[in-house]
Amino acid sequence: MYSRVLVNWCPHCNMDKVAHTIHGHHYFQGTSSSNKNMYWLFLICPNEKCGGASVASVTVEAQSSDGFSGVSIMNFFPERPKTETPEMLDEKIAEAFEDGEKCRLKGIYSAACSQYRRALELGMKELAPEISAWKLEKRINALAKEHKLTPAIKDWAHLIRLDANEAIHGDAAATKELTLSLKELTKYTLIYLHTLPKKIEEAKSKFTEQQ
């Protein structure tokens, strides 16, 4: 069956299973080990709010005036952006941060802020469950008092926390800039509280084993 569309993720609106319209093609000699023909395809996202252009290199079984059949994608550009979830996090913390990343990449900024804040709260709560602080503000202060947060992270956390509260609970929608700031705060706080200590302990163990 021939088709004039190529179904794949869209790097511009970040939607999955988009039927990109094929607006042009170019045959090329590649390094495929099969006998299939190889083409560059020029694609346009059909989403009326997007319309972004992409390029794919593909192998095809057949091509005619009706389109292509037996298409397999080799490369797709722009490439899918990678999420920046810190290493060595417990599952529930990593899941919350990853959900925030997915929402941010789709431009759903209020939801992204909510998930980053959840990851931050979970990360702080897990670090010091003995601290009976149920509000993020109190938990930040309590952890700083226990010297488990640096003064710089404490001040940054309070600054972003106030803006995040407005984005999540207020009338104004979250902006891309606020979302990126909250992501960076959450990422580096989790690295400082969880990833870095675990990496140091891992390196320490390896060193001890070699003695």
Q: Tell me how far apart the alpha carbons of residues 14 and 125 are, in angstroms, rounded to a whole number.
A: 32
C-alpha to C-alpha distance for 211 and 209, rounded to whole angstroms: 6
Residue 197 in tokens: 């200590």
Residue 30 has a pLDDT of 62
Determine the 3-state secondary structure of 142 from DSSP.
Answer: helix
Structure tokens at 71: 């298409």
pLDDT at 71: 93
Residue 23, Cβ neighbours under 10 Å: how many?
11
Got the DSSP string for 80-134?
PPPP-PPSS--HHHHHHHHHHHHHHHTT-HHHHHHHHHHHHHHHHHHH-TTS---
pLDDT digits (tens, 9 = 90+) for 114-143: 999 899 889 988 877 776 656 778 888 888
The DSSP secondary-structure symbol of 54 reads E
Give me the pLDDT at residue 195, please: 94
pTM to 2 decimal places: 0.74
CA distance 157 to 2: 55
DSSP state of 41: E
Residue 89: its pLDDT value, please? 94
Tokens of 23: 């607006």
Q: Could you give the count of Cα atoms lying within 13 Å of 37 in the half-sphere of its Cβ?
A: 15
Other beta carbons within 10 angstroms of residue 194's beta carbon come to 20
Instruction: Provide φ and ψ at 202, rounded to 5°.
Output: -65, -45
- Tell me what pLDDT residue 33 has: 59
Q: How many CB atoms lie within 10 A of CB 157?
A: 25
Helix pair angle (136-145, 109-127), 10° resolution: 40
| Backbone dihedral angles phi then psi of residue 56, each to the nearest 5 degrees | -130, 140
The segments of the chain whose pLDDT lies below 70 read: 30-35, 131-134, 211
| Cα separation, 196 vs 209, whole angstroms | 20
Task: Measure Cα distances from 35 to 25, 38, 188 in Å.
Answer: 19, 9, 49
Distance CA(210)–CA(196), nearest Å, equals: 21
Nearest of 105, 103, 96, 125 to residue 187 by alpha carbon: 96
